Amino acid sequence: MKTWTLEDLVEGFARRDKNALARAITLAESQRSDHQSLIHELLKKIKAQKPSIRLGISGTPGVGKSSFIEVFGMSLIEKKMTLAVLAVDPSSQVSGGSILGDKTRMDLLARSSEAFIRPSPSGGALGGVARRTRESIHLCEAFGFDVVIVETVGVGQSETTVAHLVDCFMMLLQPGAGDDLQGIKRGILELVDMVVVTKADGDNLHLAQAAKHHYQNALHILRSDQWHPPVLSCSSLEKSGFSEIWKSIQEFTQTQKDLILQKRTKQLNYWFEQELHQEFQQRLRLKVGEELLATQLQAIQEQKITIHEAVIEIMKRIKL
- Domain of 9: which CATH number? 1.20.5
The per-residue pLDDT for 317 is 85
Same domain flag for 229 and 284: no
Same domain flag for 80 and 99: yes
Of 257, 256, 236, 242, give the one whose Cα is nearest residue 81.
Answer: 242
The per-residue pLDDT for 101 is 46
Q: What are the residues whose beta carbons fall under 8 Å from the beta carbon of 62, sequence distance 6 or more?
A: 174, 177
Helix (H, G, I), strand (E, B) or coil at 8: helix
Give residue 250's domain range: 47-255
Q: What are the residues whose beta carbons fall under 8 Å from the beta carbon of 65, sequence distance 6 or more?
A: 57, 58, 59, 151, 172
The per-residue pLDDT for 131 is 62
The per-residue pLDDT for 159 is 56
Block means of pLDDT (10 residues each) for the chain, 320 residues, are: 89 96 94 91 92 92 91 97 86 37 75 93 48 89 96 62 90 75 62 94 92 87 84 96 97 95 93 88 87 94 95 86
Residue 168: inside a domain: yes
Tell me the Ramachandran region of residue 185: left when phi exceeds 0, alpha when psi lies from -120 to 50, beta otherwise: left
Q: Find the CATH number of the domain harbouring 215.
A: 3.40.50.300
Alpha helices in 180-289 (DSSP H): 181-184, 186-189, 205-222, 242-255, 257-288
The per-residue pLDDT for 127 is 40
Same domain flag for 51 and 41: no
Of 110, 160, 144, 137, give the one whose Cα is nearest residue 54.
Answer: 137
The per-residue pLDDT for 40 is 93
Same domain flag for 7 and 70: no
Same domain flag for 2 and 147: no
Same domain flag for 28 and 98: no
Residue 263: inside a domain: no
Helix (H, G, I), strand (E, B) or coil at 55: strand
Q: Say how far apart CA 225 and CA 256 lie, in whole Å.
A: 12
The per-residue pLDDT for 100 is 47
Per the structure, the count of domains in the chain is 3
Same domain flag for 243 and 144: yes
Same domain flag for 177 and 188: yes
Q: Say how far apart CA 135 and CA 246 lie, in whole Å.
A: 25
Same domain flag for 31 and 75: no
Helix H, strand E, coil C: the string for 211-232 is: HHHHHHHHHHHHCCCCCCCCEE
Q: What is the pTM of this model?
A: 0.84
Same domain flag for 40 and 144: no
Phi, psi of 192 (to 5 degrees): -70, 150
Q: Residue 116 in contact with residue 21, Cβ under 8 Å?
A: yes
Residue 260: inside a domain: no
Residue 264: inside a domain: no
Residue 261: inside a domain: no
Residue 281: inside a domain: yes
